[in-house]
Amino acid sequence: MTQREIAEQSVPKSVNWLPYRFERLSSDEVLVSNIAGEWVLLDGQQFDQLATLSFADDDLVKLLLANHILITEDDRVSGRLLSLKLATRIRQLPELTGLHIFVVTLRCDHSCEYCQVSRKNSNSTEHDMSWDDAARALDIVFSSPSTNLKIEFQGGESLLNFELIKRVVVEAKRRNIDGSRNLSFVIASNLVPLNEEILTFALEHSIYFSTSIDGPEELHNSNRSRPGRNSYQLATDGIASIRKTLGDDYVSALMTTTERSLDQPEAIIDEYVRLGFNEVFLRFLSPYGHAVKTRAISRYGNRQWMDFYQRGLKYIIELNRSGTEVVEVLASIYLRKLLVNDCGGYVDLTTPTGAGLGALVYNYDGDVYASDEGRMLREMGDDSFKLGSVRTHRYKDLILSERFLDVVEDSYAPSSPMCSDCALEPFCGSDPVFHHSTQGDVTGFKPLSDFCERTMTLVPLLLRLYREDRFCRDLFTRWATR
């Protein structure tokens, strides 16, 4: 409803609360949200009126009615509208397990200090996935109910087992001959092994590439070491080759924040813009795998990352203000939840957890994990998120196992301590793997949770920018609806 439509409404005599939650963001700023994720920001005096249902401000009543925080006594429509909005918000729930990650090899020629996978030497094939296991994994892929199936090949360096990738792609397309699923493929790669044969195959089958660019050449090469110290050159050459053969949209890049990144968010973003990318994902370093062994994860804390993030977001906004269009991906995920009622997509910020329900990971040895991070934990000796094996389990065995259902239930945010009362819960998610890894508990102790602190800091930041800066309002709307 527009501001004008709200203003033109008559003020009812008697109103009651609809179910809502609130959170004080500062001494004079309260976020109020309902179960369908509609929200308003109130000042303290306005919130007091809502809390006591004694209104001195007609416009406030109209605003709260329009956002389904209040209801009139004779209203027979708002409850239905609220349920419709809630149904829209959770519509992705039955679309279980759309992402299927095949770890085709652990071999890799890089030795990145933050590697979360615990790579193996690039000349040994004992850590390659076999065709038999890949075929069994495809049985599971096509047993999942989602109409949209994305198969992502990861490593190690996935292209070191390109022969298997080819067989999986051809076989998956054969199984989808009736076109009943929307099938897509992504190869996550450092692009070093990229060649004409791979590009030709990718073109024939419309395969997307996802690679790593950590920032300017010096930063990238120091983070991602390999013989020859030329990771950056090979990655950017690969990006250029993919764009030339398949098109600009067929390659995307992700960055990982290390201690060396913290003082140069602007340089990292400039590098993405220079390389022709129109989005940057300012990511936190996950506490798994080699990143823990090398202590890369302990070299900076959540607060330092959030300072880095806020500086980066501010710079991206300024770039947009001066005419360079670039999107910050994490902000756009939050903004989709805040502005267009879209909660799908990013498995780390959904509830119930996206691990398992949103994605399954098939390891090189046939073991199946609830998430990529769960697989990384196994490489550290912790198999808490191993669901089974492609050799012995079917899709339903994996998803309906008691062990997994316990994780889903215990981490479900609307019934978790602190989250169940939090007004930011509709815009947050559940990350049982992160909380298990950092706190030894899938629910997570939220007063000390980095995951919680990030949402509690970043969502209010986005809301304030949206409210106070007309340019940000338009920009964020574009990010949310892209």
Partner 1 sequence: MGYERKRLSGVSVDEGIDYDMIEVVRFDSRVTSLSSVRKGIYRMSGTLGLICREDGSDFVVESNAELNQLEIVTLMRHVNDYQLRESISQETAAIRDAVLAAALIRITREHDFK
How far apart are alpha carbons 134 and 136 in whole angstroms?
5
Classify 42 as helix, strand or coil: strand
Per-residue mark of binding to partner 1, 1-30 (x: CB under 8 A): ---------------xxxxxxx-x------
The distance of closest approach from Cβ of residue 51 to partner 1 in the complex, given in angstroms and rounded to an integer, is 6
The distance of closest approach from Cβ of residue 17 to partner 1 in the complex, given in angstroms and rounded to an integer, is 5
The distance of closest approach from Cβ of residue 206 to partner 1 in the complex, given in angstroms and rounded to an integer, is 28
Beta strands in 171-224 (DSSP E): 182-188, 208-212
The distance of closest approach from Cβ of residue 86 to partner 1 in the complex, given in angstroms and rounded to an integer, is 4
By CB under 8 A, what part of segment 446-475 binds partner 1?
Answer: 447-448
Q: Tell me how many degrees the CA angle 324-349-87 measures, rounded to the nearest 5.
A: 105
The distance of closest approach from Cβ of residue 448 to partner 1 in the complex, given in angstroms and rounded to an integer, is 5
The owner of tokens 């109409």 is: 147
Q: Does 51 bind partner 1 (CB under 8 A)?
A: yes
Residue whose CB is less far from partner 1, 51 or 405: 51
Question: Residue from 1, 7, 56, 87 that binds partner 1 (CB under 8 A)?
Answer: 87
Q: Does 405 bind partner 1 (CB under 8 A)?
A: no
Fill in the DSSP letter of residue 182. E
Residue whose CB is less far from partner 1, 149 or 327: 149
Residue whose CB is less far from partner 1, 223 or 443: 443
User: Residue 468 CA to chain centroid, in angstroms?
Assistant: 27
Residue whose CB is less far from partner 1, 125 or 147: 147
The distance of closest approach from Cβ of residue 38 to partner 1 in the complex, given in angstroms and rounded to an integer, is 12
The residue range among 85-93, 133-141, 262-270, 397-405 that interacts with partner 1, by the rule CB under 8 A, is 85-93
The distance of closest approach from Cβ of residue 22 to partner 1 in the complex, given in angstroms and rounded to an integer, is 7
Q: Tell me how many degrees the CA angle 196-197-201 measures, rounded to the nearest 5.
A: 115
- Find residue 355's DSSP bridge partners: 359
Burial label, 160 (beta-carbon count in 10 A; 0-12, 13-18, 19+): buried
The distance of closest approach from Cβ of residue 65 to partner 1 in the complex, given in angstroms and rounded to an integer, is 14
Per-residue mark of binding to partner 1, 61-80 (x: CB under 8 A): ----------x-------xx
Long-range contacts from 214-221, C-beta under 8 angstroms, 24+ separation: 214/255, 214/256, 214/258, 214/261, 214/268, 215/255, 215/261, 215/264, 215/267, 215/268, 215/271, 216/264, 216/267, 216/268, 216/270, 216/271, 219/260, 219/261, 219/264, 219/267, 219/268
Q: Does 35 bind partner 1 (CB under 8 A)?
A: yes
For residue 197 the two structure tokens come to 């044969």
How far apart are alpha carbons 189 and 407 in whole angstroms?
31
Backbone φ and ψ of 18, nearest 5°? -95, 165
Q: Does 86 bind partner 1 (CB under 8 A)?
A: yes
The distance of closest approach from Cβ of residue 178 to partner 1 in the complex, given in angstroms and rounded to an integer, is 17
Backbone φ and ψ of 254, nearest 5°? -125, 150
Residue whose CB is less far from partner 1, 323 or 447: 447
Q: Does 227 bind partner 1 (CB under 8 A)?
A: no
How far apart are alpha carbons 259 and 196 in whole angstroms?
36
Fill in the DSSP letter of residue 107. B
Question: Residue from 1, 7, 56, 93 that binds partner 1 (CB under 8 A)?
Answer: 93
The distance of closest approach from Cβ of residue 176 to partner 1 in the complex, given in angstroms and rounded to an integer, is 19
The residue range among 164-172, 246-254, 328-336, 445-453 that interacts with partner 1, by the rule CB under 8 A, is 445-453
Q: Does 400 bind partner 1 (CB under 8 A)?
A: no
The distance of closest approach from Cβ of residue 236 to partner 1 in the complex, given in angstroms and rounded to an integer, is 43
Q: Does 301 bind partner 1 (CB under 8 A)?
A: no
Indicate the residue type of 336.
Answer: R
By CB under 8 A, what part of segment 185-204 binds partner 1?
Answer: none
Q: Spell out the residues 6+ positions from residue 8 whose beta carbon is closer than 8 angstroms to its own.
A: none
DSSP per-residue string spanning 224-283: S--TTS-HHHHHHHHHHHHHHHT-GGGEEEE----GGGTT-HHHHHHHHHHTT-SEE--P
How far apart are alpha carbons 309 and 307 in whole angstroms?
5
Q: Is the dihedral of CA 278, 95, 408, 418 positive or negative?
A: positive
Per-residue mark of binding to partner 1, 304-343 (x: CB under 8 A): ----------------------------------------
The distance of closest approach from Cβ of residue 79 to partner 1 in the complex, given in angstroms and rounded to an integer, is 6
Per-residue mark of binding to partner 1, 414-443 (x: CB under 8 A): ---xx--x----------------------
Binding site for partner 1 (CB under 8 A): 16-22, 24, 35-36, 51, 71, 79-80, 82-84, 86-87, 90-91, 93-94, 417-418, 421, 445, 447-448
